Structure 1
Amino acid sequence: MTAERNLTRLIAGMRPELNPGRYVFTTVDGPAPAGVVPVVTVAEQEGVTLVVRQEEADAAGLAYDYVAGWITLRVHSALDAVGLTAAVATALADAGLSCNVVAGFHHDHLFVEHSGAERALAVLHGIADRASGSAV
């Protein structure tokens, strides 16, 4: 499947999906501890950021202060596509929802405050529906 670059088609076809579970951002000095399987890993100068299931972080004694819901945009977005992150972040910001975006090779992944995840999903479905009416 060819990755999509057209912004209207990206938004109209994003098919946001809330993954089950609660996810947290934590940091470690080296590899992930035993029993911890990150869904995101980012190597930073200060340490390695891991996004993991809350229960794994708790079991490993990892500190965190943000519990997130994980939404996957099911559209196959091109890595050089312009505007999808901005459109999604703006819509969520307008609804008073924070959003941490991670781009994978095939999809974009949004981490939103867990308590607002269902609301975020509704916002995303709303902008997708509006874009579907004007899809090119």
Structure 2
Amino acid sequence: MSGERDLRKLLNGMRPELNAGCYVFATVPPSAPVPPGVAPVVTVLEREGRTLVVPREEADAAGLAYDYTAAWITLRVHSALAAVGLTAAVARELAGHGLSCNVVAGFHHDHLFVPLERADEAVALLTELAGRSA
């Protein structure tokens, strides 16, 4: 099943959804296993280490260090991995309001990690962007 490629339809259909909880970015050595009791929602393998995006409670319990706490927003539109412009439009909108945004593309949806304390504002801005794209 292929996803949507039309930018206007992608923006209009975003339906940003705030997932419950607080998420952190931690790292372990590239060859190290994921610590017991930690279930990452995202992993990225880099030469310097394996990045784990995990619920803060799991990171704390496992003794993982982190310095960025985030809220996780899922864009509910089924975006094609080859779609052009969605990430740029979302990042531009949030950046225009001083919000950082770390984007991860899943097969079906795009996922945004934004500063925890500004999660509701980010959802509101994305909802407004979707409305302007109708």
Do both proteins adopt the same fold according to a TM-score greater than 0.5, normalized to the shorter chain?
Answer: yes
Q: Identity over the aligned pairs, expressed in percent? A: 69
Partner of 2:43: 41
TM-score, normalized by length of structure 2?
0.97
Partner of 1:115: 117
Partner of 1:4: 4
Partner of 1:74: 76
C-alpha root-mean-square deviation of aligned residues, in Å? Answer: 0.7
Query: 5 Å matches for 1:46-125?
Result: 46-125=48-127
Aligned-partner SS, 1:36: coil
Gaps of 5+ in 1: none
Aligned-partner SS, 1:35: coil
Query: In the alignment, which of 120, 129, 132 is matched to residue 130 of structure 1?
Result: 132
User: How many equivalent residue pairs?
Assistant: 132
Runs of at least 4 residues off by over 6 Å: none
Aligned-partner SS, 1:20: coil
Q: CA deviation at 1:2?
A: 3.7
Q: Matched residues in 2 for 1:130 and 1:93: separation?
A: 17
Partner of 2:18: 18
Q: CA deviation at 1:31?
A: 1.7
TM-score, normalized by length of structure 1?
0.95
Aligned-partner SS, 2:21: strand
Q: CA deviation at 1:102?
A: 0.4
Q: Matched residues in 1 for 2:33 and 2:10: separation?
A: 35
